[in-house]
Amino acid sequence: MPQLARRDVRNLLLGPGASAGVKKLAAGALARLAINADNQATIAAAGAIPPLVQLLGARSPSDVQKHAAAVLVILAQKADKVAMVAAGAIPPLVLLLRPGADDLPKEFAARVLARLGHNNTKNRDAIAAAGASAGVDVLEKMERLSI
């Protein structure tokens, strides 16, 4: 995979000219690339995690949220958990679990949260607190998932 520059990733995902369609395609391409373990470190090193976390927000269409969360599911299998938490991933992931949210982004969000909280008490406490403030029983949803 060619080297990704931070500004290129940020511009594709969040740039002023990036429409919802471009964001969806860019996040979808990153999800497909992330399937290859060799690409995961490159994606993280290119600074993709903070923009992907921003795409989880309520202003993004559901299909953009779905693709962004799909990349984070894959990256959360490895050591990128710290970067996700540092980028503020927990609150928007919890909000994707609200009743009425689309099913696929909700499933991906629950999987990312389960991986972030796996064997990490500090993250589990942060997830539970974010869930309580959003009125979502996150830990119950996480427990139903196998990691």
Tokens representing 31 are 């999800």
**pLDDT for the residue numbered 139:** 65
Residue that wins the pLDDT comparison between 35 and 15: 35
Classify 107 as helix, strand or coil.
helix
Tell me the whole-structure pTM to 2 decimals: 0.84
pLDDT at position 102: 84
pLDDT (mean) for 101-119: 88
Q: pLDDT by residue (tens digit) across 20-64?
A: 888 888 889 899 999 998 889 888 888 889 999 999 998 899 999
Question: Among all chains, which residue has been given the structure tokens 């976390």?
Answer: 53
Confidence check: pLDDT of 147 > 50:
no
Distance CA 34, CA 37 (A): 7
Q: For position 104, what pLDDT does the model report?
A: 87
- Examine the pLDDT at 118 and tell me if it is beyond 70: yes
Identify the pLDDT of residue 98.
Answer: 83
Tell me what pLDDT residue 52 has.
93
* Cβ count near 67 (within 10 Å): 27
Helix locations, 6-145, DSSP H: 6-14, 20-34, 37-45, 49-55, 62-75, 81-86, 90-95, 103-117, 121-134, 138-143
More confident residue, 99 or 90: 90
Q: Cα 106 to the chain's mean position, in Å?
A: 11
DSSP per position, 31-66: HHHHTSHHHHHHHHHTT-HHHHHHHTSTTS-HHHHH
Whether 126 contacts 85, CB under 8 Å = yes
